[in-house]
Amino acid sequence: MEGYTPRSYGAAFADVYDDWYSGLSDAEVSADVIVELARAGAGDRRPRVLELGVGTGRLAIPIAARDVDVVGVDTSPDMLARLAARDQAGAVTAVVGDMVDELPDGPFDVALVAYNTLFNLETEDRLRACFAAVASRLAPGGSFVVEAFVPEDPPRSGTVVSVRSMSSREVVLSISEHDPEQQRAFGHFVSFVDGDRVRLRPWVVHYATPNELDGHAAAAGFVVGARWEDFDRHPFEDTSPRHVTVYALTR
């Protein structure tokens, strides 16, 4: 998308992210899973967790509340400003940077990338590089937890227009373009608020199947330790729309 940069998403969504996406999953359940993995990896040490694309801290804050050191990296100063406002105790260490070239130094016991954030990397090479960068920051035997959607089969193609939400004062439309050959989709959420200006909220994703992610993981030294449909650990099946995969570092 012309003019779109890694910071575009955060600038466009920071003010509505918590309202729109607070119900993605049970943050407390998700935090329990991450902390369990981190404690198992840390042994007698205080566990350390790295969240890629930490955003407003939906998961990082409850993870930190469980006596775990949490570092969150995000390209968006707007998202991190929201995180700081929510994290009054300063429990989460926030770092401005991308999730390939600017990851903070480890070692970490768990790295986490939640809710499709990994697909913000716009090429296959960047996906592969992300797995390698995470592997270099993990402690021996650490885990990389990836939560993402499973691409539709057959995938969408062309232009899709739909209504995201509607109230007496606001209508939000979703307008997107889908290129299955490139495994890319991009679009806008267009907000019409009575008496206010039209607001465009752009997004871009480059998606991958679980098998493709497994290949990138293997190249970086990971094996699949577990795969569920969600953080509630429901079994992953052929019809599952999402997956939570725990990649275990073999070194």
Q: How many CB atoms lie within 10 A of CB 28?
A: 13
Residue 94: what pLDDT?
97
Q: Under a CB-based contact definition with an 8 Å cutoff, are residues 78 and 108 in contact?
A: no
Compute CA distances 16 → 195, 197, 216, 249, whole Å. 18, 16, 33, 36
Q: Per-residue confidence of the chain (251 residues) as pLDDT tens digits?
A: 888 888 899 999 999 999 998 778 899 999 999 999 999 999 999 999 999 999 999 999 999 999 999 999 999 999 999 999 999 999 999 999 999 999 999 999 999 999 999 999 999 999 999 999 999 999 999 999 999 999 999 999 999 999 999 999 999 999 999 999 999 999 999 999 999 999 999 999 999 999 999 999 999 999 999 999 999 999 999 999 999 999 999 98
CATH 3.40.50.150 residue ranges for the chain:
8-150+208-249
Query: Selecting from 3.20.20.450, 3.30.70.1170, 3.20.19.10, 3.40.50.150, what CATH number does the domain 8-150+208-249 have?
Result: 3.40.50.150
**Sheet containing 108-113: which strands, arranged edge to edge?**
92-96, 69-74, 48-52, 108-113, 138-149, 242-249, 222-228
Assigned CATH class of 158-205:
mainly beta
Q: What is the DSSP letter of 235?
A: B
CATH 2.20.25.570 residue ranges for the chain:
158-205
3, amino acid identity: G
Residue 93: what pLDDT?
98
| Whole-number Å distance between alpha carbons of 30 and 244 | 10
In 14-137, the DSSP E strands lie at: 48-52, 69-74, 92-96, 108-113
In this structure, the chain runs to a length of 251
Residue 1: what pLDDT?
83
Among 49, 62, 50, smallest CA distance to 22 is for 62
